[in-house]
Copies of this chain bind each other. A is one copy, B any other.
Amino acid sequence: MKSKIFSFVGDSNSGKTTLISKIIVELTKRNYTVGAVKHCSKGFEIDKKGKDSYILRERGADPVLLISKNDVALLKKNSSEEPMELIERYFSNRDFVIVEGGRNWKGIKKIEVIGNERDRLQLDDRPIAIISGEEVYTDVPLFRKDEIEKIVNFMENTK
């Protein structure tokens, strides 16, 4: 089965992570497998200076794979691949893939998360739904931030 991919976009203080967390819990409750992607526009600090993984990468190893009994972490350079290529490679077997951010990523359905009308983004792609703290004028489905079940129903039914 091909994964259903949705990107939740909105300003950094729009409450995206909290909302997405609840959506993941609800999807899991409905027995779906879920992967998540976070677009870290300011970068992320995953291996710190002085750590072995950092040293190995600095010396020229790429990728670096860490394997423990419970977890696996793959750290690699972003060789300017399209996000969709990365997502398709790593999430081929998940029912849903929830993306946090990635407002400019092509080929992914966007759901806009806002506090109110003034937060609306200029998106290349029209969002397929809006989740808002206040009512806004829109011709796409509009949800409140606490309507998790309704939002997940909508995601289930989106082709």
Contact = CB atoms under 8 A, between A and B. Distances in A.
- Number of copies of chain A assembled together: 2
Contact of A68 (B44, B60, B68, B90): B44
Given A56-B20, A60-B28, A75 B65 contact: no
Interface in A9-38: 17, 20-22, 24-25, 27-28, 33-38
Interface residues of A, number: 55
A71 to B, nearest CB: 6
A73 B73 CA distance: 7
B39 A67 contact: yes
A56 B87 contact: no
B24 A36 contact: no
Contacts of A67: 37-40, 78, 83, 86, 102
Interface of A: 17, 20-22, 24-25, 27-28, 33-44, 46-47, 52-53, 55-57, 59-78, 83, 86-87, 90-91, 98, 100, 102
A36 B65 contact: yes
16 contacts: A17-B55, A20-B56, A34-B61, A36-B61, A37-B66, A38-B52, A40-B67, A41-B69, A44-B68, A44-B71, A46-B66, A46-B73, A65-B91, A71-B76, A72-B76, A74-B74
A98 B61 CA distance: 9
Q: Of A73, A90, A91, which is in contact with the most chain B CB atoms at under 10 Å from its CB?
A: A73
Contacts of A22: 59
